[in-house]
Structure 1
Amino acid sequence: MSEKPRAATTKDRLVAAAFELFEERGFDATTAEDIARRAGVGRTTFFRTFGSKDDVIFPEHDLLLGRIDQRLAAATPAARPLALSEATRVVLRHYLDEGELARARYRLIGSVPALRARETGGIQQYQRLFARWLREWMSDLPDGQLRADLLAADLVAAHNFVLRRWLRGQTSEPENEFDQAMRVALERYQPSGLEPSSAVVVLRTSATPAAIQAQLQPLLDNEAR
């Protein structure tokens, strides 16, 4: 049996109503009261759900930051490169799942300077979060803080490069492009104790760690001979 579609929440209705009105009237000409009326709720309900009209544009920002933080916190030392890739992918997949809503947001932000400034602030929050974890992980390296800050910037830039290409309709394979972008970004990652000849591999797979190890073990045994 197929799953039933999730029923639209009040938050969903407010977001949908807001973007309809932004497209029809423009951002500045739309009020919180207009959005509430279009969504069929009261003004009080709007402000219980969103602190301001601007918050409707970025409704999941704090949730995404929390999911990234949780993924990085769970990473074991050996799996940190994979965790960095997966944590970055959390944001990409969120926008891909939004579909046309993400593209409507992109158009809107491009036309409203105040929203562009807020988006820039949000990007900086992602970068600071990655940098915080990377500084901890690379603290034993002489230039660990520098590497951490540079890698955090690389991860965010790689994500944004792929996301914007998808938003502009320039790629139909954002996941594949993201994989390549992560390989480039993670070249800078060098945790303490990693030998110069070592390689960090990031891949997407449904196989269990045990199954992957079983496939790689013959290669490792051969290398050890």
Structure 2
Amino acid sequence: MPSTDASVEQRLRTAALELFAEQGYDATTVEAIAARAGVGRTTFFRTFDSKEAAVFPDHELVLEDVAARLRAAGPGGSRAAVVEAAMLVLSHYLADGEVARTRYRLTRTIPALRQREIAGLHRYQRLFGDFLNGPGADLVGAAPDADARQLRAEVAAAAIVTTHNHVLRRWLRHDLDDPSPVLERALDDVVDAIAVRPAEQRAAVLVVRSRADLDAALPEIRRVLGDP
């Protein structure tokens, strides 16, 4: 999204939310939003690329923050990076306050907004999945081939995003006053569930009934255990 005056951006967001609630999404035009905010149509499109974009947080900014946190993960730091990155997403929603809650109500009834929300969620999930299939692969453990590694990463990423969304929705529905500690605990539980510890990963009882030389059998043993 192009850089613009923060107060203009906020006025446009507020105007869009108000008009969607008052007269419906389809009946609300970009011109009406701009007029309610006290700016022109050109200013609107310098700020947002569509009327639905006006009610969502700046996903590009949030994704950049999340990606930066994941990139900063050092050796052994995958767990902390994943948890803190998910907490960053929550913090952006909390910063929107009642705007986020109004947006939540609108996305339940307006398909165009719901589709945009789903598309945004997929981008977060892909970001976590790429990390867990790359630098953060130690968190989900080794796999025998690339397809298995990608599957583990995608399942883990889906679990992380689902956990975040579950806690976020509780806050959006006023079921939680402070979702941050709840999400942190929930993420710890999820990461515990998906994490593969080295000792567990290698735990196996192997019975070999073969007269073959052990050196000759080792490649097959490594393949079964998932060693590279």
Q: TM-score range by the shorter chain?
A: 0.7 to 0.9
C-alpha deviations, 1:58-96, integer Å up to 9, x for none? 241111111111110011022211110110011111111
Question: Number of matched residues?
Answer: 189
Task: Give the aligned partner of residue 151 of structure 2.
Answer: 146
The aligned residue for residue 161 of structure 2 is 156
Q: Residue 33 of structure 1 is aligned with which of 8, 31, 34?
A: 31
Q: Does 1:189 align with 2:195?
A: yes
Aligned ranges 1:26-175 → 2 under 5 Å: 26-136=24-134, 137-138=136-137, 141-142=142-143, 143-175=148-180
Contact 1:33 1:43 in 2 (8 A): yes
Root mean square deviation, CA, Å: 1.9
- Supply the AA of the counterpart residue of 1:146: L
- Give structure 1 stretches of 5+ with no counterpart: 1-6, 198-225
Residues 28 and 63 of structure 1: is their aligned pair in 2 closer, same or farther, counting only changes over 3 Å? same
Q: What is the SS of the residue equivalent to 1:51?
A: coil
Q: Deviations over 1:117-168 (max 9, x none)?
A: 2211111111011000110132771143222111100110000000001111
Question: Which amino acid is 2:89 matched to?
Answer: V
Deviation at 1:173, TM superposition (A): 3.0
Point out where structure 2 has 5 or more consecutive residues left out of the alignment. Answer: 202-228
CA separation in 2, counterparts of 1:15 and 1:163? 20
Q: Distance in 2 between matches of 1:148 and 1:190?
A: 12
Q: TM-score normalised to the size of structure 2? A: 0.78
The answer to whether the Cα contact below 8 Å between 1:138 and 1:145 also exists between their aligned partners in 2 is no
Runs ≥4 residues deviating over 3 A: 194-197
Residue number in structure 1 paired with 2:215: none
> Aligned to 2:76, what secondary structure does the other structure show?
helix
Output the CA distance in 2 between the equivalents of 1:146 and 1:91: 24
**Could you tell me the TM-score, scaled by structure 1's length?**
0.79
Deviation, structure 1 residue 8: 4.9
Q: Which residue of 2 aligns with 1:177?
A: 182
